[in-house]
Amino acid sequence: MDKIRVLIVDDSIFFRTALQKILMNDNSIEIIGTAGSALDADRKISELSPDVVTLDVEMPNMSGTDFLKKLIPVKPIPVILVSSLNVGAFDALSAGAVDFVRKPASNSGPDFVAFCNELKGKIKIAKNAKVRQPRAAAPVTKTATSATNTIKNLASGAVKRHVIAIGASTGGTEATSDVLKDLPENIPGIIIVQHMPVGFTKMYAERLDRTSKIKVVEAVDGERVEQGKAIVAAGDKHMTLAKDSKGYYVKCQAGDKVSGHCPSVDVMFESVAKTAGKDAIGVILTGMGRDGARGLLHMRQNGAFTIGQDEKSCVVYGMPMVAFELGGVCEQASCSAIAGRLVKKIGE
């Protein structure tokens, strides 16, 4: 098998050197060069034609985001962001990056080794990922009330009975945003698991809140699932659905990885299958691996309506493919069509 040819772009020579040394230990990866600036990276990409680029978001003269806005429309190469805890990572994802990894505080030690191992895995995924063209997400003005009648046929009490569960991984930050921005303010409550490092989920929820008609928050234990609101699982806790006399709410609890992740889509979907049954709708979006596939099957078996993102619109057709092959998907739809299918199904 041919090695994956990688270009490392970072303004720190010490970080580039340390990263190159560890990545070269993987027999499936070849480091074909490094660059210390966007200008240097642009030249080396033209000269070396890498399969994957790792890119620092914060660089002098031209940021990683601005570089991506110029690069991707001309050369749609898979790019993995290497970012500190900064909201700029999401701007870079909108500019066409495939995925991101949180930058460690040190260039040595266990945290750096864990970072490199995570990056190795994402490089292998990115090699065959589809690159999205840059696009800007315009802020949405929320109206004073979420009790609009956008879903025309919504029966009395149906909102409180229904819950929508969405799971995503690689490419999912933008896919989930695409779905949410097209949903009306009176959509039933939504819970979301997006594979993302701890610390980033709060910023992600805030970003979704700015670009959606509905309210979006990061999950806290006991948060109520309400009409016109979406809850994003925190980056280091499993999120499950529970119910009491007042309706649905979420439980958040630290735990071991399930299906390779914490939070896990499978954990969330399994709880939705048991708690909401036929009153739930499950959506599985782009992502590598199989997290969520088994849980979505159990949701369908318990009477829920389920949607899988189709192959053409996925950055990585992994999780939705496995869910479809297991029989967990009632229908497949493009990312741009999923919001419409949710509205129609809720209104039936």
Cβ neighbourhood burial of 262 (10 Å; 0-12, 13-18, 19+)? buried
pLDDT at 139 > cutoff 60: no
pLDDT at 239 > cutoff 60: yes
Give yes or no for a contact between 263 and 293, defined as CB atoms under 8 angstroms apart. no
- Residues near 2 by Cβ (< 8 Å), separated by ≥ 6? none
**Is 133 or 279 the better-scoring residue by pLDDT?**
279
Instruction: Tell me the average pLDDT across 82-109.
Output: 85
Q: Which of 63, 169, 177, 313 is catalytic?
A: 169
Same structural domain, 167 and 122: no
Same structural domain, 180 and 252: yes
Give me the pLDDT at residue 156, please. Answer: 47
| Amino acid letter for position 309 | Q
Boundary (domain end) residue, out of 75, 105, 126: 126
Same structural domain, 120 and 162: no
Does residue 319 fall inside a structural domain?
yes
Give yes or no for a contact between 282 and 269, defined as CB atoms under 8 angstroms apart. yes
Q: Which of 110-114, 141-145, 283-287 has the highest mean pLDDT?
A: 283-287
Same structural domain, 231 and 335: yes
Give me the pLDDT at residue 42, please. Answer: 95
Give me the pLDDT at residue 59, please. Answer: 86
What pLDDT, in 10s, does the model give residues 258-298? 999 999 999 999 999 999 999 999 999 999 999 999 999 99
The average confidence (pLDDT) of the chain is 90
150 band by pLDDT with thresholds 50, 70 and 90: low
Give yes or no for a contact between 249 and 222, defined as CB atoms under 8 angstroms apart. yes
What pLDDT, in 10s, does the model give residues 170-184? 999 999 999 999 999
Residue 71: CATH number of its domain: 3.40.50.2300
Boundary (domain end) residue, out of 81, 105, 126: 126
Does residue 24 fall inside a structural domain?
yes
- Residues near 339 by Cβ (< 8 Å), separated by ≥ 6? 178, 179, 180, 181, 182, 183
H/E stretch holding 88: helix 88-94
Give me the pLDDT at residue 161, please. Answer: 59
Same structural domain, 189 and 236: yes
Q: Which of 10, 56, 99, 291 is catalytic?
A: 291
Does residue 42 fall inside a structural domain?
yes
DSSP per-residue string spanning 215-259: EEEE--TT-B--TTEEEEPPTTSEEEEEEETTEEEEEEE----BT
- Residues near 174 by Cβ (< 8 Å), separated by ≥ 6? 93, 94, 132
Q: Which of 26, 91, 146, 195 is catalytic?
A: 195
- Residues near 58 by Cβ (< 8 Å), separated by ≥ 6? 11, 64, 83, 84, 86, 88
Same structural domain, 98 and 180: no
Gap between the Cα atoms of 37 and 21, Å rounded: 20
Give me the pLDDT at residue 151, please. Answer: 56
pLDDT at 132 > cutoff 60: yes
Does residue 209 fall inside a structural domain?
yes
Give me the pLDDT at residue 232, please. Answer: 98
Same structural domain, 119 and 12: yes
Instruction: Tell me the average pLDDT across 322-336.
Output: 97
Query: What values do phi and psi take at 20, rounded to 5?
Result: -60, -40
Same structural domain, 87 and 165: no
Give the domain range for residue 85: 4-126
Region for 329 from its dihedrals, namely left if φ exceeds 0, alpha if ψ lies in -120 to 50, beta otherwise: beta
Does residue 142 fall inside a structural domain?
no
| Amino acid letter for position 224 | R
Does residue 141 fall inside a structural domain?
no
**Is 218 or 114 the better-scoring residue by pLDDT?**
218
Give me the pLDDT at residue 107, please. Answer: 82
Does residue 133 fall inside a structural domain?
no
The rounded percent of the chain whose pLDDT value lies above 70 is 92
Gap between the Cα atoms of 76 and 131, Å rounded: 6
Q: Which of 136-145, 156-165, 193-202 has the highest mean pLDDT?
A: 193-202
Residue 298: CATH number of its domain: 3.40.50.180
Same structural domain, 343 and 207: yes
Gap between the Cα atoms of 257 and 266, Å rounded: 11
Residue closest to 190 by CA, chosen among 270, 283, 254, 274: 283
Report the domain count for the chain. Answer: 2
Instruction: Give ∠ CA 195-179-119 in degrees, rounded to 5.
Output: 25
Same structural domain, 245 and 335: yes
Same structural domain, 27 and 162: no
The two tokens of residue 89 are 């990572």
Give me the pLDDT at residue 146, please. Answer: 36
Gap between the Cα atoms of 103 and 228, Å rounded: 34
- Judge whether 169 counts as a catalytic residue: yes
Q: Hey, is 301 helix, strand or coil? A: helix
Give me the pLDDT at residue 61, please. Answer: 87
Give yes or no for a contact between 16 and 8, defined as CB atoms under 8 angstroms apart. yes
Instruction: Tell me the average pLDDT across 213-221.
Output: 97
Same structural domain, 183 and 276: yes
Gap between the Cα atoms of 159 and 301, Å rounded: 22
What pLDDT, in 10s, does the model give residues 36-95? 999 999 999 999 999 999 999 888 889 899 999 999 999 999 999 988 767 778 888 999
Give me the pLDDT at residue 147, please. Answer: 35
Angle between the N-to-C axes of helices 293-301 and 319-326, in degrees from 0 to 180, rounded to the nearest 10? 40
Does residue 218 fall inside a structural domain?
yes
Query: What's the count of helices (H) and strands (E) in the chain, helices before strands?
Result: 12, 14
